[in-house]
Amino acid sequence: MSGERIAIFAEGLFESRNGKAAHGLIRYGEREVVCVIDSTTAGRTASEVVAYARRPVPIVAGVAEAVALGATCIAIGVAPAGGRLPPAWKAALLESIAAGLDCEAGLHDELRADPDLVAAAAASGARLRDLRAVPGDLSTTTGEGLRAPVRIVHIVGSDCAIGKMTAALELTDAAREAGHEAVFVATGQVGISISGWGIAVDHVIADYVNGAAERLVLEGARRGDLLIVEGQGALQHPAYSGVTLGLLHGCTPHVLVLVHHVGMTHIDEWEHVAIPPLDELCDLYERLVAPIRPARVAAIALNTRRLADDGDARAAAARIESATGRVCDDPVRFGPARLWSAVEAALP
C-alpha cells in the first residue's frame, strides 16, 4: 500500500456523514491522496467542502480526471446503504481497473467476489483489496491478551459514527509525541485503510469477535508498547451492542476513553433509545469490563461539531467535566493534550 497515489471515490456523498472514510483518509492517511471523485462537488477542494478533511485535495468529476492526475489506486471512501456496491459505482470501478488502477473497498460486497471485477483485474493486472476481509483462522479468546507485555487504551462511545476512530488517532499522535511507541489498532475498514493493518470486526462471526480483538492486541504488542484500540458501536445501541461488548472484553483494556457527540440525546435513528447521563454510561462500561480487567474511563472526548462557537464548545466540555468528574475536551477542535494527560496518568 505504501507509495500508492489514491483517488477517493465518494460520488454524491462526500459532504455527508457517510463520507467519513474519505474524510479520515485525507486527514490521517499516510498515502498520498491526489483527488476525490464526486461530480456533485467537483471544482472545489476537500477542505472547502468538509473542514475536518483539513487538506486542499482537489475534487474531480470522474475517473478519467483522477487517472490524469496520476492516481494508481481508487479507494471507495463512502458507505452506501447496507455496505452494498451500487451498479453505478461498479461501472466506475470497471473504468478504473481498465485504466490499470488498483481498487480498494471496505464494503460487505467484496470486490474479489464479483466475477466482472475479477475478470477485469486479471486482464489489466490491477489488484483488488477488500478491507473487510478477515483471517480465516479466527477463534474464541485464549486469555493470552491479558499476558501481553503492552498497555491498552480502548475508545468507547455513546453512539455510532461520532468520532471514536478520530479520538483514537488523535490520542495515538499525542502519545507518540510524548515518547511512547504508540500503535493505533484499527477495528474497522476506515482505520485499516489509514493504518494498513487491522481486522474489521463487523465482518467477523459473532463468537469470534472477542478472539479477533485479542489477536489485534497480540499483533499490536509486536509493534509497540502502548495500544490505542479503536471502538465500534455503543453498549446501548440496539443494532451494534454485540460488537461493542466483544471488543471491550476481547481487547482487555487498562484504560477507557468515552466519546460523545454534544447535543445528541438519543441513539441516531432510534429515537426511543435515550443516551443515558454520561456518568452513568461511564459506570456501565467500567462495570462490564471489570470481570475481565478493571479499567476506568479516564477521559471523555467530545465531538462539538454542532456548536459553531469555540466558547460554547468549551462551556459544554466544562459542564460535562463537572458532571462526570472526568477530563473532557474536543481533541479535534482544541487538540488532544488534556485528554492524553488524563489517559497517561491512569495507565498502570
Antiparallel, parallel or unpaired: β 270-274 and 266-267: antiparallel
The phi, psi pair for 18, rounded to 5°, reads -70, -10
Q: Which residue is listed with cell 477507557? A: 256
DSSP 141: -
| Residue pLDDT, tens place only, 77-121 | 987 666 678 888 899 999 999 999 999 998 888 999 999 999 999
**Distance from chain centroid for Cα 345:** 25
State which H helix or E strand residue 104 sits in.
strand 102-105
pLDDT tens digit at each of 348 positions of the chain: 668 999 999 999 999 877 888 999 999 998 999 999 999 999 999 999 998 888 999 999 999 999 999 999 999 998 766 667 888 889 999 999 999 999 999 888 899 999 999 999 999 999 999 998 999 999 999 999 999 999 999 999 999 989 999 999 999 999 999 999 999 999 999 999 999 999 999 999 999 999 999 999 999 999 999 999 999 999 999 999 999 999 999 999 999 999 999 999 999 999 999 999 999 999 999 999 999 999 999 999 999 999 999 999 999 999 999 999 999 999 999 999 999 999 999 999
Domain ranges of the chain: 5-130, 144-346
Which three cell numbers mark 55?
487538506
- Dihedral of alpha carbons 194, 190, 293, 174, sign: positive
Grid cell for residue 15: 459532504
User: Does this chain's domain 5-130 share its CATH topology with 144-346?
Assistant: yes
* CATH number, span 144-346: 3.40.50.300
Q: CB of 185 within 8 A of CB of 229?
A: yes
* 5-130 CATH pick, 3.10.20.520, 3.40.605.10, 3.40.50.720, 1.10.3720.10: 3.40.50.720
Answer whether 87's CB lies under 8 Å from 60's CB. Answer: no
Phi, psi of 328 (to 5 degrees): -140, 130
User: 154 - beta bridge partners?
Assistant: 229, 256
Give me the pLDDT at residue 2, please: 62
Q: How many helices (H) and strands (E) does the chain have?
A: 12, 14
Give start and end residues of each alpha helix (H) in the chain: 20-28, 46-49, 63-68, 87-98, 115-124, 164-177, 189-195, 209-221, 241-250, 278-289, 310-324, 337-346
CA distance 146 to 298: 20
Q: How many CB atoms lie within 10 A of CB 154?
A: 29
